[in-house]
A and B are shown apart, each in its own frame.
Chain A
Amino acid sequence: MTAELQTWIGVIATLAIFSFLIKENPFYRFFEYTVIGMSAAHAVVMTWDNYTKPFWVNGVMKGEYYLLIPGAIAVLYYFRYAPPKYQWLYRYPLALIMGYNIGYSLAYDPRPFMTQIRGTFESLKDLNSFIYLVIFIGVVVYFIFTFGNKSAAVGKTRTFARYAMMMYFGVSFGNTVQGRFSLLLGRLLFLLQDWLGLVKLG
Chain B
Amino acid sequence: MLEKLNNLDSRWMYLALVIVLVIPIIKPIGMSISVNKDLTQRMYDFIDSLPPGSLIMFDLASNSSSDTEITPMIYAVMEHMYQKGHKLLVAGQWSSGLAFWSPKIDERAREYGWVYGVDYVNIGYKAGGTSTWRAMGQDFWKGAMEVDINGTPFSELPIMQNIRKLDDKTIDCIVIFESGSPGMETWITYFPTIPLCKGSVAAEISSSVRYIPTGQLKGLIPGMRGAAEYEKLVNRPGIATQLMDAQSMSHLLVVALIALGNIAYFGTKRKMARGR
Q: Residues of A at under 8 Å CB distance from B? A: 21-22, 39, 42-43, 46-47, 49-52, 54-55, 58-59, 100, 104, 108-109, 111-112, 115-116, 118-119, 123, 168, 171-172, 175-186, 188-189, 192, 198-199, 201-202
**Cross-chain contact B142 with A59 (CB below 8 angstroms):** yes
- Asked whether, in the complex, the Cβ of A178 is within 8 Å of the Cβ of B99, the reply is no
Q: A116-B210, A178-B223, A182-B69 are in contact. Are A50 and B145 (CB under 8 A)?
A: yes
Q: When the two chains form their complex, are residues A175 and B25 in contact, meaning their CB atoms are under 8 A apart?
A: no
- Set B14, B26, B66, B188: member contacting A192, Cβ < 8 A: B26
Q: Contacts A21-B14, A50-B149, A175-B205 given: A183-B251 contact, CB under 8 Å?
A: no
Binding site for A on B (CB under 8 A): 11, 14, 17-18, 21-22, 25-26, 65-69, 95-96, 98-99, 123-128, 130-132, 142, 145-147, 149, 151, 185, 188-190, 192, 201-203, 205-207, 210-211, 213-214, 216, 222-225, 238-239, 242-243, 246-247, 250-251, 254
From B131, B242, B251, give the contact of A181 (CB < 8 A). Answer: B251
Contact B206 A182 (CB under 8 A): no
- Main secondary structure on chain A at its contact with chain B? helix
B198, chain A: closest CB distance, angstroms: 14
Chain B positions within 8 Å of A178 at CB level: 202, 223-225, 247, 251
Residues of B within 8 A of A43 (CB): 95-96
State the CA gap A151–B131 with chains docked (Å): 46
In the complex, which of the residues B66, B124, B145, B251 contacts A58, with contact meaning CB atoms closer than 8 Å?
A: B145
Asked whether A46 lies within 8 Å of B188 as measured between CB atoms, the reply is: no
| A201 x B203 contact (CB < 8 A) | no
Given contacts A58-B147, A183-B68, A184-B21, contact A112 B188 (CB under 8 A): yes
